[in-house]
Amino acid sequence: MRMLTDKRIGVLMGGRSAEREVSLRSGKAIYNALRDLGYDAVAIDAGSDLCDALKRKKVEIAFIALHGGHGENGAVQGMLEVLGILYTGSGVLASALAMDKEASKKIFLYHKIPVSPFIVLSKDHRAKSIDSSKVGFPLPWVVKPATEGSSVGVSIVKNKKQIGSAVKNAFSFSDRAIIEKYIEGKEVHIGILNDRVLGGVEVRPSLEFYSYEAKYEKGLTEYILPPEISRRVYERAKETALSAHRALGCRGATRVDLMIDRKGKPYVLEVNTIPGMTETSLLPKVARLAGLDFSALIEEMLRGALDES
């Protein structure tokens, strides 16, 4: 990796998605780590002039730390390919599929990867017309936007009176909403790096679920490493996560979010193609348990970009 010290690395962060602030925190941590390691790194807040900024700063490799929006849905990846700039993480198609929960769930079903029962609502649906008896599975539900991350716009619906506000909230972030059956059990996140499983972490939020606040505010979530599940269930969870990563065609670093029901069956919630890299983020915690400190994790993510070139 020393050969990369003469390459200009642009850390892309910020952007205009609902996850801008978290992206800035991730990007700053990555930028500082690269500088400490001796790399020629520049920080770039990814605005509408991103293309010009990349050219102006003579970026040769892009380290993408954008969460949500165009940075995670394949758009920025496509631009980088047109410009001939190497970049970390998944490619255009895998990024787009992972960000679209409807598309990714259908691919998981095709590959026989378990997901919670779900339906998709388009924006012309009226919340009042959603009959819980005709959805196909009983309350409680999880209602979420089809195209956001970090639990943005997610609600837990326990009774009919909550349906309207939950659907309206989801539609404020996307033109489609997902209603899925709520799985009671343990939430486990599996870290994958360059097509190998690093390990997992169990999250126990003090709030109703692992919400945006629970993810990024210190003290609101307990992290159990490794998860307190049987070895058999843990191995099944890791196999399921790697299958989901591969089914979408992901590369580099991903985090696969799972719910483990009370019988030990894992259900894939989503695949995150650009996991958070803040002080409370899960992938760095999992990597540390696997023997990779933050700096080593950053270098491995860079190596993954080179291996795919």
pLDDT for 144-167, tens place per residue?
999 876 567 889 999 988 988 899
Catalytic site residue from 90, 252, 270, 304: 270
CATH 3.30.1490.20 residue spans of the chain: 118-181
Spatial separation of the C-alpha atoms in residues 33 and 291, rounded to whole Å: 17
107, two tokens: 């691919």
Nearest in space to 73 (alpha carbons), one of 53, 84, 62, 89: 89
Spatial separation of the C-alpha atoms in residues 63 and 141, rounded to whole Å: 36
- CATH superfamily for 97-114+184-307 is ATP-grasp fold, B domain (3.30.470.20)
Nearest in space to 99 (alpha carbons), one of 272, 277, 282, 276: 272
Q: Are 61 and 80 in contact (CB under 8 A)?
A: no
- Establish whether 272 is a catalytic residue: yes
Catalytic site residue from 19, 72, 148, 187: 19
**Region 2-89: CATH code:** 3.40.50.20
Catalytic site residue from 25, 251, 257, 281: 257
247, two tokens: 């089914």
- Establish whether 216 is a catalytic residue: yes
pLDDT for 253-289, tens place per residue?
999 999 999 999 999 999 999 999 987 789 999 999 9
Is the per-residue pLDDT at 242 higher than 60?
yes
- Establish whether 276 is a catalytic residue: yes
pLDDT for 173-207, tens place per residue?
888 999 999 999 999 999 999 999 999 999 987 65
Q: What are phi and psi of 281, to 5 degrees?
A: -70, 155
Angle between helices 282-289 and 294-307 (to 10 degrees): 100
- Establish whether 194 is a catalytic residue: no
Catalytic site residue from 39, 210, 216, 267: 216
CATH 3.30.470.20 residue spans of the chain: 97-114+184-307
pLDDT for 52-90, tens place per residue?
999 999 999 999 999 988 889 999 999 999 999 999 999
Rg of the chain over all Cα atoms, to the nearest angstrom:
19
- Establish whether 150 is a catalytic residue: yes
- The residues that bridge with 64 in the sheet, in sequence order, are 12
Spatial separation of the C-alpha atoms in residues 117 and 257, rounded to whole Å: 16
Task: Note the pTM of the prediction, 2 decimals.
Answer: 0.91
- Establish whether 255 is a catalytic residue: yes
Catalytic site residue from 255, 267, 281, 304: 255
- CATH superfamily for 118-181 is ATP-grasp fold, A domain (3.30.1490.20)
